[in-house]
Chain A
Amino acid sequence: MSDIIFMFLFFFMVITTIRETTLIVKVKVPLATEVQKLEKKSLVCNIYAGIPNKKELAGSGTRIQLNDQYATANDIGDFIATERQSLDEADRRRLTVSLKVDQETKMGIVADIKQELRKYNALLINYSTRKTTIGNLFTSK
């Protein structure tokens, strides 16, 4: 009995990754069909945007989350610089920024993020999405 459970345990340990950051904003990424998998997890850094979980502390407007805290678009430059520092010289150009943005967000804040990323030359981006089939794309939210 315990052998089987242990086998399960190892199975899950191998195929999963421990969540590095706790989300403090609500993020439900939109659906898409033409998705590609993110390879090379070590080259990816995440920028989250959504409505704060604790509205009484952070307001009800959309906020950006970098690492474990709320941030503004102006902090993205520092964030990218720190992420770059932690990579090897050779890999710095391949840094990919994964934008995990809630589907209800307005494009204004996304445009701000993208402009900052361009300014700091982090040009490879990935709009994080959930995979779906064509039939679902236009009917469900």
Chain B
Amino acid sequence: MKKPPEINTGSMADISFLLLTFFLLTSSINTDMGIFRKLPPPPDPNVKPADIKQRNIFTVLINKNDRLLVDNKPSDIRMLRQQAKDFISNPSNLETLPEKKLEEIPYLGNYMVSKGVISLQNDRGTSYDMYIKVQNELTAALNDLRDELSMDKFNRKFDELSDPNFIEAVQKAIPISISEAEPKDVGEQ
């Protein structure tokens, strides 16, 4: 019996290399990540904005030169995280810092939920980079608080929690309370 002729596979490596380079160039590793936010619904002219007590508001202003004004005092981005944490948690129940409301939260029991709201305002001339840095620091402050609470109650960090009930409980105890003011036209773009 005659042997079938062998197929030359030497060029196979070249072809697959070519394909490999093609895919390497046309594709990107899926690394889409970022900071999540929920925008407020469009303002309803019939509904009056709720009155919030002054002690419950923590204002963060960013001007067009990317300078910060936190609670009417100039501040630095490096200090913002601690300031926001102190504000929301109000550890020594000061009169000037936000009120707390006792709430019954499943899996946590009675918890003093802070009524503090962080109000973020920026100028049209603020750089996006600075804005994201501030958003990042404020998120970090809330995440830190969530981590602390989660460590205390469930012995794990917040993002290591696996039970959705626990996650929901912590989210309820420390909500992401960052509100952005309606944009105002001040300063040039």
Contact = CB atoms under 8 A, between A and B. Distances in A.
Interface of A: 1-2, 5-6, 8-9, 12-13, 15-19, 29-38, 41, 44, 96, 98-99, 101-111, 114-115, 117-119, 121, 123-129, 131, 137-138, 141
A17 B30 contact: yes
B136 A33 contact: yes
A116 to B, nearest CB: 10
A119 B30 CA distance: 30
A51 to B, nearest CB: 12
Interface in B30-88: 30, 32-42, 77-78
Contacts of A127: 34-35, 37, 132, 135
Most buried by B among A15, A111, A123: A111
Interface stretch (B15-23, B96-104, B109-117, B162-170): B15-23
A35 B35 contact: yes
A40 to B, nearest CB: 11
- Interface bracket on B: 35 or more
Contact of A32 (B29, B125, B126, B133): B133
Nearest to A13: B23
B129 interface: yes
Contacts of A141: 129
B124 interface: yes
A107 B134 CA distance: 13
Contact of B38 (A15, A17, A38, A123): A123
A141 B127 CA distance: 12
A80 to B, nearest CB: 12
Contacts of B35: 32, 34-36, 126-127, 129
A111 B186 CA distance: 13
A2 B13 contact: yes
A105 B125 CA distance: 9
Contacts of B189: 106, 108-109
Nearest to A132: B136
Nearest to A134: B140
A33 B77 CA distance: 14
Interface in B94-153: 122-129, 131-133, 135-136, 139-140, 143
Contacts of A110: 128, 131
A44 B183 contact: no
Contacts of A33: 136, 140
B34 A98 contact: yes
A5 B16 contact: yes
Contacts of A124: 36, 38-39
Contact of B33 (A16, A114, A129): A129
A114 B133 contact: no
Given A2-B12, A5-B13, A125-B39, A15 B128 contact: no
B28 interface: yes
